Structure 1
Amino acid sequence: MNLTEDLKNPIFKTIGEISDSLGKDVYAVGGFVRDIFLQRPSKDLDFVTVGSGIELAEAVAHHLGPKAHLSVFPNYGTAQVKFRDLELEFVGARKESYNRDSRNPIVEDGTLEDDMRRRDFTINAMAISLNEKSFGELIDPFNGLIDLHSGVIKTPLDPDITFSDDPLRMLRAIRFATQLYKKSDDSENPSYSAFRIDNDTFSAIKRNAQRMEIITRERINDELSKIMRAPKPSVGWRLLDMAGLLPYVFPSLIPLKGVEMKEGKGHKDNFYHTIQVVDNVASRSDNEWLRWAALLHDIAKPTTKRYDPKLGWTFHNHNFIGEKMIPRIFRTMKLPLNEKMKYVAKLVGLHMRPQSVGDQGVTDSAVRRMITDAGNDVEDLMILAESDITSKQPDKVRRQLEGFKKLRERMQYVHDADELRNWKNPVDGNEIMERLGVAPGPEIARLKDIVKEAIIEGEIPYDHDAAWEYLINHK
């Protein structure tokens, strides 16, 4: 098979010509080749040459001129050339061997076949020649094209060896099964179906799950992030659970699993409810951190679960306790300890608020309070709350959606909603100390709360002078 028509970018001819001048064979490999057949765009281009990849990268960068930026990584035998909107990765063909207790391979020079053999899956073990004599020719030693058309993820070699050598490949298999979709051959009525992991490959993942212990959190988080950005993240989380990888990649989710029965009453399985909520959010928002908030919104339910003979199963304050758990989880998982963590924690703490505001009859004061607390994230909060509806009872779903609809309508009517999203108390602490002679301490917070409550309850406008007049009369 020849893929010349898919190599229209002149960079491929350029790299082929430079390689010919150096007497080297060069190939486009990996995800770029796979994505040609999946009709997916790809700007990150990987190239393998038989010989020194660094030497070829240096020659390419020199040819492209000052707009090309070269980065060399001699310890790994790789180099990168950034040129305009392209990232070109170069490596020499190699073969790898592993020590069982190390995540780092022993790398030696090898042939193209050696290089294809070391790759994770058959769909990533294809190459396209760029040399003039065979430009566009597909090299497919492990029938990756057949597996692409079948939508199957399998390893080129014995999966037990593949996964024991580099356990991250197990997580990558699940990420690809979540991320990749194949298009039907019907051009008039195209449909898409997800990839599946080959049975023998999946069994090997189960057998080697414990090997994930040698993989760094950073590498794991990179794969989890890609799962979370997929169209339907629940596919990945379900597979992680089924494969036995969940305890190694996100142990905090394990207590959510299962249903407990008392006096014939059970509660929903909070793990499967949670990943459904993530899908619901994903269908409405590309915001990865809103999806993480969905994943963690019920994280405190196992801690707060109680059975009351009159009320059944309760999870009182699971939202507030969950909010306090987020920093520890992010620290343990080595997720970013910055504004993203604060955003997730805030939404976890507030995720019950829209429902409770609706239960109160959607009063203006309750709406103002919710807008004030959520700030600029109030729309994300509403998406999370609406996505949290996963009941199988149509009447219950209808009532909840009607309640949220009324809440949204009321939010439109609250005339000061825009100011409240950027809430800042019109009475400043320094001004309180100066004008009222109050010493630094909790008394300042109490006085500021008096003003905040009056504004939220609609007793005074969101205005500095009105706030001061009110405070002087009610302090």
Structure 2
Amino acid sequence: MTSDAELPPEATAQVVADALARLEPVLPLLRDLGERFAADGHELALVGGPVRDAFLGRDSLDLDLTTSARPEQIEPLLERWGSATWDMGRDFGTIGARRGETVVEVTTYRADEYDRTTRKPVVAFGDDLAGDLVRRDFTVNAMALRLPHLELVDPHGGMLDLAAGRLRTPSTPEVSFADDPLRMLRAARFVAQLGLTPAPDVVTAMTAAAPSLEIVSAERVRDELVKLLLAPDPVAGLRLLVDTGLADQVLPELPALRLEIDEHHRHKDVYEHSLTVLQQAIDLESGADGPVPGPDLVLRLAALLHDIGKPATRRFEDGGGVSFHHHDVVGAKLTAKRMRALRFDKDTTKAVARLVELHLRFHGYGDGQWTDSAVRRYVTDAGDLLQRLHRLTRADCTTRNRRKADRLRRAYDDLEERIDRLAEQEELDRVRPELDGNHIGEILGIPPGPELGEAYRFLLELRLDEGVLGPEVAAERLRRWWAGRSSA
């Protein structure tokens, strides 16, 4: 919309009017709350994310407010205004309240100082809005709307920065990032989420302060990384993390993919390839009613990390070739290790690592020479990750050779068609032996235990190899197997 020049007054008025129109559904409640605070002699302002999002034309679920009132003064005011209140952190000055479907969080002006070693704030309450805003992370989050009169307070040019697509800090970036190093990750997240471009001094400060991120807890790092990955353009945010050295602190496996390319360019830039795969996987996410509704964290993590086993497995072969044997298995282990370090939950970690382990399985399919048994095993091994595996495998094709790309696409089309046909015939997504444990025990005359488990696995292998045989044939094959096992 503009660069460094100020917006003309008429344009500013229109932008503010549009933002207020976006907030119109909640303005009556906010005005009422502002009047109540003013009647008691306190200032109140809508601040941060909801103001920023209103200027961007986005709906915001959060209604964050800041006030000159102290927590003990906030609480009775909210009790009279809302239907419920709760203490969200009295020591930090935050009280929450609900009125109908509207939820607000009201926080006393802050004037914190930080312990630069542990990043723990020494909580101090401030007395004015300007002092509160200058301590916020970025100018686009340092705008406020005074209530009840809806006066815009923008001392650091946040609205102009939004118009220019620019990311700056209210104070110097060195001071801002020293106060809270997590803000550097948040900068990358806003690049991915809002399409902002960090100012040169912000990038310089991020690069210099990257090592300080080590004092931030793994949980806080994980949460920011997740928000970045689920944003509309995570590739842009990830590039900033790598270029500034922040990725070396939080996700070192990613910059490690920047392998040196041999002089004959016989293998791809794995880093660029991985970012391309991530973008292509995002493009393959389905709508809300589809099999992989986007944004899908498991698919995006698997796409980003699928090749992180390559640096450890790279070998230069005789004749100038390069190989990465077993990088799928090694990569799965590295993926699980990194995700555990970032405190991801067990289910997400297991799912992402499994996709990394399986991402090469399709390449044994060739021109469709797999047996039905091999197709069944492919589906069984993928389990409930099958739809994500379909998308990861397709996204992993980044060759510029159109003929090769078309061949791979046709081969995977063929595999999916075979899976669908077998699923119709055999309900493949629920593959089980044709006899359950009770029937196996009755036929063989054995109690529950290791032998019954072994018999169950035999029938499962039989089911995978030969498909549906019918209970009678399955029972006869079981007896023959048992007799042979016993004689052996």
Length-normalised TM-score, structure 2: 0.86
Are the aligned partners of 1:34 and 1:126 in contact in 2 as well (CA < 8 Å)? Answer: yes
1:288 to 274, 293, 297: 297
Q: Which runs of 5+ in 1 are unaligned?
A: 181-193
Residue pairs, 1:28-177, within 5 angstroms:
28-53=46-71, 55-65=73-83, 68-110=84-126, 111-131=128-148, 135-177=149-191
Tell me the residue number matched to 2:369.
Answer: 361
Are the aligned partners of 2:138 and 2:167 in contact in 1 as well (CA < 8 Å)? Answer: yes
Q: Distance in 2 between matches of 1:453 and 1:377?
A: 21
Are the aligned partners of 2:138 and 2:170 in contact in 1 as well (CA < 8 Å)? Answer: yes
Are the aligned partners of 1:460 and 1:467 in contact in 2 as well (CA < 8 Å)? Answer: no
Residues 383 and 25 of structure 1, relative CA distance in 2, 3 Å threshold? same
Residue pairs, 1:15-414, within 5 angstroms:
15-53=33-71, 55-65=73-83, 68-110=84-126, 111-131=128-148, 135-180=149-194, 194-261=195-262, 264=264, 266-285=266-285, 286=294, 287-309=296-318, 312-337=321-346, 339-414=347-422
Residues 444 and 391 of structure 1, relative CA distance in 2, 3 Å threshold? farther
Task: Using the TM superposition, give the Cα deviation of residue 123 of structure 1 relative to its aligned residue in structure 2, in angstroms.
Answer: 0.7
Q: Percent identity?
A: 36
1:469 to 450, 457, 476: 476
Task: Using the TM superposition, give the Cα deviation of residue 63 of structure 1 relative to its aligned residue in structure 2, in angstroms.
Answer: 2.2
Which residue identity lines up with residue 299 of structure 1 in the other structure?
A: I
Task: Using the TM superposition, give the Cα deviation of residue 434 of structure 1 relative to its aligned residue in structure 2, in angstroms.
Answer: 6.2
Task: Using the TM superposition, give the Cα deviation of residue 316 of structure 1 relative to its aligned residue in structure 2, in angstroms.
Answer: 2.0
Are the aligned partners of 2:133 and 2:143 in contact in 1 as well (CA < 8 Å)? Answer: yes
Tell me the residue number matched to 2:32.
Answer: 14
Task: Using the TM superposition, give the Cα deviation of residue 418 of structure 1 relative to its aligned residue in structure 2, in angstroms.
Answer: 6.7
Task: Using the TM superposition, give the Cα deviation of residue 54 of structure 1 relative to its aligned residue in structure 2, in angstroms.
Answer: 5.4
Task: Using the TM superposition, give the Cα deviation of residue 265 of structure 1 relative to its aligned residue in structure 2, in angstroms.
Answer: 5.4
Residues 426 and 322 of structure 1, relative CA distance in 2, 3 Å threshold? farther
Q: Distance in 1 between matches of 2:364 and 2:220?
A: 40
Length-normalised TM-score, structure 1: 0.88
Which residue identity lines up with residue 275 of structure 1 in the other structure?
A: L
CA RMSD of aligned residues (A): 2.5
Q: Deviations over 1:380-423 (max 9, x none)?
A: 11011001111122222111111111112222221447732133
Q: Deviations over 1:411-441 (max 9, x none)?
A: 2221447732133334456765664367988
| SS of equivalent residue, structure 2 residue 427 | helix
Q: Deviations over 1:51-95 (max 9, x none)?
A: 225532442243222xx3423412211122244544311111121
Q: Distance in 2 between matches of 1:433 and 1:396?
A: 52
Q: Deviations over 1:158-178 (max 9, x none)?
A: 111111111111111111011
Are the aligned partners of 1:259 and 1:266 in contact in 2 as well (CA < 8 Å)? Answer: no
| SS of equivalent residue, structure 2 residue 92 | coil
Are the aligned partners of 1:376 and 1:422 in contact in 2 as well (CA < 8 Å)? Answer: no
Q: Deviations over 1:334-383 (max 9, x none)?
A: 1112x222211221221122332344435432222211221232111101
Moved more, 7-16 or 422-431: 422-431
Are the aligned partners of 2:166 and 2:197 in contact in 1 as well (CA < 8 Å)? Answer: yes
Task: Using the TM superposition, give the Cα deviation of residue 309 of structure 1 relative to its aligned residue in structure 2, in angstroms.
Answer: 2.1
Residues 345 and 402 of structure 1, relative CA distance in 2, 3 Å threshold? same
Tell me the residue number matched to 2:6.
Answer: none
Are the aligned partners of 2:70 and 2:108 in contact in 1 as well (CA < 8 Å)? Answer: yes
Q: Distance in 1 between matches of 2:371 and 2:165?
A: 52
